Structure 1
Amino acid sequence: MPRNSWLRPFVGTCCSKCVPISKMKFLEDPAMTLGIANILCVPTQNRDNGLLTRTFHYAAFILQRNPEFKYPGVSKRVIHSERVQNAIEETASEELSDLGLDNIHMMQLRQKHRRRAIEILKRMRSCISSLLLRISGWVIYKILGRILNGIYVHKGQIEALRKVSKNNVPLIYLPLHRSHLDYILVTFILYMNDLRAPLVAAGDNLLITFFGVLMRGLGAFFIQRKLDPHKGKKDRVYRAILHSYMSESMREGHSLEFFIEGGRTRTGKASLPKAGLLSVVVDTVNEGIVEDAYIVPVGISYEKIMDGNFVLEQLGKPKIMEDFKHAVKAVWRIFHSNFGSVRVDFCQPFSLREFLNSSKKFQMNLSPQSLVSVDRPLRSTPTSGLLYGTDIVVEDYRQVVKALAEHVVYDAFHTTALMSTNLLAFLYLTKHRKGATFQQLCQSLTWLRGEIIDRKRDVGFTGECSDIIRHASTLLTKNLVTIETIEMAWSSEKEKSNIRIVFHKPVIRLPHVLELQYYSNSVVSVFLIESVLANALFAIVDKNLDSWRGCDSRFFVSREQLVKKALMLCDVLQYEFIFTPPCGDLFSVINETVDHLLSSEILLQSQMVAGVGDHMEQAWMNRVASHMEWEESSESEDDLIVIQDQRLQIMLSEESLETLQFYRCILSPYVESYWLAASSLLKLVQVEKEESIFLQEIHKTAKERLQQGLIVYEECFAANQLKNAVKLFEHWKVVECYIQDSVKLYYLSSEYNSEEAVNEIIRKIEEYKV
């Protein structure tokens, strides 16, 4: 599926005919030539218009929006749908059996569950209003113009949506979830461009006083965070209502919007998809309820975190539930802040019908990442935290839905523009953890921006690096970036004086480093495979970087061994990243990246030798190769053998050493998190622990290791990474669990229930640790 790699970096106001909301010193004016529009800039009114129209240009612009769209209700169709009626009947029959009642009570049970179905639908349904959209458009203009410098969209993307919408099929908008503002932002952009506003799935935790009513009127329909109130027992009625509501809405021509990651990201990077709602859309098209639907992945970039930060949650504190009091405080805080700019990118819409047909026709490999591990495949099902399970579609479509979901997340995240704060935070946590002069930061930012553009990714700004750094530093605030002045004595034959050197230093201690990591994580995917290979390389040679400086020794590594180590690290981090889209091939991508490192002379190619690697490694690589599908233009069988037997010479210059060190440290905090979680498995030997207690044990272990000086990166304390590590151990069958009295209990499987076995897991991860 095409990505918007043709976009160029930008930021700025629109043109002289627009009313600017704000203007920053470093911004240039490429927006019109690049097709970028700031929707907070409205065209000034023609002199021929009346005085009132020209005076109240915002209100006049809103009044001119297209009011012709109709948003019909579907409640009657939902309640009378066959799916809902069957669910009511099945639930009543099950309850009759469980209670041991006679058939005479069946009618009462049917009526009971029918009343409940009506109540569920009343709480769930949207009441989208064209009038409220019009009124809210003006209010949102005023509010967003106060707190943002601009909301930037590409006019070509809007035109693509407008063209697709003429096909009279529903559009399914799938944004990555960054902020509560996401709910409003996509609707606002579409409405301002005369496109149909979608119905938006929102968690029922947002159904709070005033704000819930407002969101419902703007298109929100509210769904439970947990589908089944009782563990192990499906709520058939609720599932049927949800499924029918979405299907009937699509039948009536409504577009839909929901967040395929589930909740807002706590890490700043893309989360693994939760494909439950997407499976409803697939099922609706597959059953012929609608002829087709167009899928539109959406990337949203904020220069500054809108919802505060998630540091407390990342330190293991429970999430604070939304209520009216907290909502008012948040609004008040937002009104008195500046959040820079927002960039919204709509990916190329694609036909779901065509995707499903091509999946059947070509029998595409839906789990190519199963080649990653020697011992086990990568996760072959969606994450265990699904908001809604995929049981609503037949088994044959589960892998198709999973592939579609990962495609959406991968494309949306790789289309998302990288903002100035993302790049600066990334540089602080990788190249300049100990600080840098302003000149060094400018040089690094210039280099990083060039690398990102060369890799066909977009940046959401332009201008002089010095002004960009000042702007980004202001948004990051003094809590994350400090400035220190160091005086150094300097003398010559003629004079003596002191030189003042200004150092910009990141705050790399808890808790602030976790917020800095949030901004930085957006850039990690740009260098993801390079970082995997760098960590794999050092795991093989088992050498400290400092010992390589000025060393004349040469190290030789077989390409086969390097690729294998890289694949194993991908296996470890499979719950953190989507390394390739489902139609891609991780084995080939890693080999292509090795070729890139060779062409860049970071690695050097040595002579070809036969028989490199032991017999077991060779057998493993042959097994990987046997699963690959080679095109006619691919290497011949002889060439493939050469690639496997190639030796790579590691003889590093100062420049290539710094490059590998930079690549390595990108993933080092993640490796440390998984190492900490693995070390904590020793606390489960011969015992079982509640989930909350076990996670507390991991944090306790982390604090102990920090005091012992065994931790380099304090961002490894992030709760999301530690929880993902536990998921990995479950997937590896190292840890097992069961539910007792609604409490999740962990214990070690029989194969790993010993210190020796656990230490082997620790060593497997520790070899990648700095």
Structure 2
Amino acid sequence: MDNTRSAVTMELPLSGGPGSEADLPLQHDSTEQNLVEHMARFEVNPYEWFREVALFVSGSGWRAYEKVTGQPVFYSGYTEKIKSGIMASPMLQRMLAELTGKRLEVEEQEHLLDRTSPTFETDKVKRQDEIISSLREATNTMIDNMVCKMESKYFIRSAYYMVTQLLTRAYHQGIYVDRQEIDRLRSYADMAAKQKRSIIFLPCHKSHLDYVSLQLICYRLGFTLPVVVAGDNLNFPLVGSFLQHAGAMWIRRSFDKDPLYITLVQTYIDTLLQNGYNFECFIEGTRSRTGKLLGPRFGILSFLLDSVITGRTEDAYICPVSSQYDKVIEVDSYVSELLGQPKQKENLSGFLSASSVLTLKLGRVDVRFHEPWSLKDFIKSQELRPSHAPNQGSIERSKEVRSRMLRTLGYKVLSDINAISVVMPTALVGTILLTLRGRGVGRSELIRRVDWLCGRIQAKGGKVAHFHGAPTGYVVDRALEVLGPSLVGTVEGLAEQTFYAVDRFQMSFYRNMTIHLFISEALIAAAMYTRVKQGGGPAIQRMVQAELTDQVTFLSQLFRGEFIFPAGEGLAANLERAVAGLQADEVIEVFTSYEGKTYAGLTDIERQRGRENYDFYCFLIWPFIEAAWLGAVSLMCLTPPSAAEVDIWIDMKKAQDSAQLLGKTLYHQGDLSYFEAVNKESLKNAYSRFAEEGIIVVATNKDSKAGPTMRLSPDWTPRRDGQTGALLLQGRLWDFTEKIAKCRREGKNRRDGATVSTRVLSMANKLGLALFEDMISSRTAPNEPLVAPKKVQRRSKL
């Protein structure tokens, strides 16, 4: 890679300036290059700073943003054109007419319009005009608050310069892209522009800086900037207006089943897609606080799908995007939220406080683009699936078919994002530090293990970011520098420099960036652990393959909402592929005994190398198994104190808070191995799975602002001892909890199972009684159930 500053052209000048830290290109192949130049600083080089400002003010070369690929934006009148297109939409006009008609019916029923009056028709027409005029005024206000206002090239040039200054100070190594992916994206952008079709960017979401990085790339490469869906919680004074003029489309966090607002959002999206404007929406809906991908949110995705299914839009191209960071600015606040602290409302002071972090050196940003694909072609392929047979009705009429299609679309995008994601050096180091048995690791062993992990990732088809041509030790040193002493500590005065994880909870964010690559192998390792932990010879630790399949299936179902599993032919095919891979790596062996039974066990080679591979997979999944076990144990808290209280419903939030408190107590008493298991996201995922399986019944009250409530299903409710009132170690819930516990990491405190069970259940019972006492005292009338349960759909059995 040429490290000299290239001439400014409209092609692809992808290099940093001489002497900048961008001259040290982190890359895994020769096509990876730094896209954003390191900006000059006034205090360091005032002449260069003035020169760069002058180039942006004058709009020299690519900075002018004149000849963009795609539909025209940033011109005077753009906003009014979009507003006019929205207001002219037949769908919106029908909704306005429908709402007007409904209001007139109400007023007639309430005798505000008198049918017996001789002037009834005249009064009705007059009132109709008043209502529709009021609705139009309200609609115009909502539109003005919602639509982005990309009006001025002077503004966007200034915004680009300012944001790049800030970003290159924080991420001093720059924003990296893959040239081959960019060339491919450019060809699709050219094709889309000719067809007047949109490119729909669907990135993952780890940081507020995700809003910035993709916009900078599109600006730098001369693509039409996408309209970005953003929650109106970010629409606070000064910052909100700035973002709206840079491309943000503000939407409410909740639509509250407002038919006019829902129609307005759909109409705005239709208008953008019909005119071929690029569009951006975060597929996860919110920032991932854990480092791994969250499940897809289907709100905006359903609007996009509906626009093409109904034919209002001919087609659009879907482009999944992965954004990865050496270090994420918000991780400190993520940890606080996961431990139960209330989320802080976004405001200007918080934004300025976050901006102060921009003075730190946080490494680099990697942005990767999947090959775009036609949304229309995706719909056609789904229509040909057997599950979408014609006897289920038209694709436009069948809600069930459309729901399945929407779900498939969401998980396909997530799978594509995982396929292109780059594993950062900090994620490599973080993963190694959290998958070791010892307290710390020497520098030479850390380097060896990072090399080993790079090989594992590449063997799985993953991508690793590292310094081109530099030794692994250099990569490790730079990762340690970015992570800093608050995350990675050093033990002084030893024979070798030794590192250890200071904050394992926060470090888990970076470890979780790799787990999607090994989830199938990790589940197999955890299932086999039920035998491996028994010790003894190889014959004792072997597992019948049918038993292995059963346990892996159980864990896969348990974590269905926690992980994005590899796209393929289903669980059986993924399991078979993973087992074959573990055999090829000589981690496990599968053989048939003389009795005709098929067994799986660790190979002699894997034992000789200290179970290095096997232990790695176990350490990856154990924190999540702990969280699922904690969730199951916390359900014991929902056991009614007596038969008289079986109709009491527990507030969902209070139940989850109680589960966190239980987890923190068990961790500090030695009955829980991983503190990160108490994070509220994993507990929420566990409770969602429990509700899907019918273990708990969740109810909502539409007429109340209170959150959802819950209780145990009758056939899952544990029994109490008739004399002591203690929870009995029996029943479906206990068996379910024990099945999870089989795969937990064995610890010194848990070898006496009976003692642990008694201690843990005693604590769960204590917290449960407090929950019921709190709910009883909050009831408005004696023996009054708080809500009526809604119907619970049971999808499968764990």
**TM-score, normalised with respect to structure 2:** 0.79
- Structure 1 segment 298-697 matched on structure 2, within 5 A: 298-309=321-332, 310-331=334-355, 333-363=356-386, 394-431=399-436, 434-462=439-467, 463-487=470-494, 500-507=495-502, 512-539=503-530, 541=531, 543-544=532-533, 547-548=535-536, 551=537, 553-581=539-567, 584-607=569-592, 612=597, 646-650=598-602, 652=604, 653-655=607-609, 657-686=611-640, 687-697=648-658
Between 1:178-187 and 1:55-64, the stretch displaced more is 55-64
Higher relative contact order (CA 8 A, sep 6+): 1
Q: 1:200 aligns with which of 212, 216, 228?
A: 228
Shift in Å, 1:97: 5.9
Between 1:350-359 and 1:78-87, the stretch displaced more is 78-87
Q: Is the 8 A contact 1:176 1:261 kept in 2?
A: yes
Q: Is the 8 A contact 1:14 1:29 kept in 2?
A: no
- SS for the counterpart of 2:406 is helix
- SS for the counterpart of 1:674 is helix
- Structure 1 segment 139-288 matched on structure 2, within 5 A: 139-148=162-171, 149-167=173-191, 168=193, 169-228=197-256, 234-288=257-311
d(CA) in 2 for partners of 1:82, 1:214? 32
Shift in Å, 1:598: 2.0
d(CA) in 2 for partners of 1:683, 1:668? 23
d(CA) in 1 for partners of 2:562, 2:379? 27
Shift in Å, 1:42: 9.2
Between 1:742-751 and 1:251-260, the stretch displaced more is 742-751
- Structure 1 segment 35-50 matched on structure 2, within 5 A: 35-40=32-37
Partner of 1:292: 315
Shift in Å, 1:584: 3.4
| One-letter code aligned to 2:218 | L
Q: Is the 8 A contact 2:91 2:267 kept in 1?
A: yes
Q: Is the 8 A contact 2:22 2:37 kept in 1?
A: no
Q: In 2 relative to 1, CA 514–21 (structure 1 residues): closer, same or farther, beyond 3 Å?
A: farther
Shift in Å, 1:667: 0.7
d(CA) in 2 for partners of 1:37, 1:25? 7
Q: In 2 relative to 1, CA 410–128 (structure 1 residues): closer, same or farther, beyond 3 Å?
A: same
| One-letter code aligned to 2:705 | S
Shift in Å, 1:285: 1.5
- SS for the counterpart of 2:500 is strand
- Structure 1 segment 17-36 matched on structure 2, within 5 A: 17=6, 18-20=15-17, 23=20, 27=24, 33-36=30-33
Q: In 2 relative to 1, CA 84–765 (structure 1 residues): closer, same or farther, beyond 3 Å?
A: same
Q: In 2 relative to 1, CA 226–140 (structure 1 residues): closer, same or farther, beyond 3 Å?
A: same
Q: In 2 relative to 1, CA 502–166 (structure 1 residues): closer, same or farther, beyond 3 Å?
A: closer
Shift in Å, 1:751: 1.8
Shift in Å, 1:67: 4.4
Kindly indicate whether residue 723 of structure 2 is the aligned counterpart of residue 768 of structure 1: no
Shift in Å, 1:308: 4.5
Partner of 1:637: none
Q: In 2 relative to 1, CA 393–250 (structure 1 residues): closer, same or farther, beyond 3 Å?
A: farther
Q: Is the 8 A contact 2:39 2:165 kept in 1?
A: no
Shift in Å, 1:561: 2.2
Q: Is the 8 A contact 1:42 1:61 kept in 2?
A: no
Shift in Å, 1:365: 8.6
| One-letter code aligned to 1:263 | T
Shift in Å, 1:227: 1.3
| One-letter code aligned to 2:169 | R
Q: 2:72 aligns with which of 70, 73, 79?
A: 70
d(CA) in 2 for partners of 1:680, 1:320? 27
Shift in Å, 1:649: 4.3
d(CA) in 1 for partners of 2:559, 2:693? 12
Q: Is the 8 A contact 1:280 1:392 kept in 2?
A: no
Q: Is the 8 A contact 2:31 2:180 kept in 1?
A: no
Q: Is the 8 A contact 2:630 2:663 kept in 1?
A: yes
| One-letter code aligned to 1:77 | G
Q: In 2 relative to 1, CA 110–761 (structure 1 residues): closer, same or farther, beyond 3 Å?
A: farther
- SS for the counterpart of 1:578 is coil
d(CA) in 2 for partners of 1:41, 1:664? 42
| One-letter code aligned to 1:594 | V
Shift in Å, 1:435: 0.6
Q: 1:83 aligns with which of 60, 76, 91?
A: 91
Q: In 2 relative to 1, CA 226–587 (structure 1 residues): closer, same or farther, beyond 3 Å?
A: same
d(CA) in 1 for partners of 2:104, 2:594? 74
Segments of 5+ residues of structure 1 without an aligned counterpart are 1-11, 44-50, 229-233, 367-389, 488-499, 613-645
d(CA) in 2 for partners of 1:403, 1:193? 32
Q: In 2 relative to 1, CA 54–139 (structure 1 residues): closer, same or farther, beyond 3 Å?
A: closer
Partner of 1:374: none
Partner of 1:378: none
d(CA) in 1 for partners of 2:385, 2:203? 28
d(CA) in 2 for partners of 1:486, 1:455? 39
| One-letter code aligned to 1:475 | V
Partner of 2:712: 748
Q: In 2 relative to 1, CA 758–109 (structure 1 residues): closer, same or farther, beyond 3 Å?
A: farther
Q: In 2 relative to 1, CA 763–92 (structure 1 residues): closer, same or farther, beyond 3 Å?
A: farther
Partner of 1:757: 732
| One-letter code aligned to 1:445 | V
- Structure 1 segment 11-22 matched on structure 2, within 5 A: 14-15=3-4, 17=6, 18-20=15-17
d(CA) in 2 for partners of 1:427, 1:324? 38
Q: In 2 relative to 1, CA 259–565 (structure 1 residues): closer, same or farther, beyond 3 Å?
A: same
Q: In 2 relative to 1, CA 214–21 (structure 1 residues): closer, same or farther, beyond 3 Å?
A: farther
- SS for the counterpart of 1:74 is helix
Q: In 2 relative to 1, CA 24–164 (structure 1 residues): closer, same or farther, beyond 3 Å?
A: closer
Q: Is the 8 A contact 2:95 2:263 kept in 1?
A: yes
Shift in Å, 1:440: 0.8
Segments of 5+ residues of structure 2 without an aligned counterpart are 7-14, 41-48, 114-123, 390-394, 641-647, 720-730, 746-798
* 1:621-646 CA distance string (max 9 Å, x none): xxxxxxxxxxxxxxxxxxxxxxxxx3
- SS for the counterpart of 1:705 is helix
| One-letter code aligned to 2:311 | G
Between 1:343-352 and 1:430-439, the stretch displaced more is 430-439
d(CA) in 1 for partners of 2:580, 2:185? 38
Q: In 2 relative to 1, CA 350–751 (structure 1 residues): closer, same or farther, beyond 3 Å?
A: same
Q: Is the 8 A contact 1:422 1:520 kept in 2?
A: yes
- SS for the counterpart of 1:344 is strand
* 1:353-391 CA distance string (max 9 Å, x none): 11111111244799xxxxxxxxxxxxxxxxxxxxxxx99
Q: In 2 relative to 1, CA 698–403 (structure 1 residues): closer, same or farther, beyond 3 Å?
A: same
| One-letter code aligned to 1:532 | L
Between 1:165-174 and 1:138-147, the stretch displaced more is 138-147
- SS for the counterpart of 2:312 is coil
Q: Is the 8 A contact 1:280 1:393 kept in 2?
A: no
Between 1:237-246 and 1:92-101, the stretch displaced more is 92-101
Partner of 1:231: none
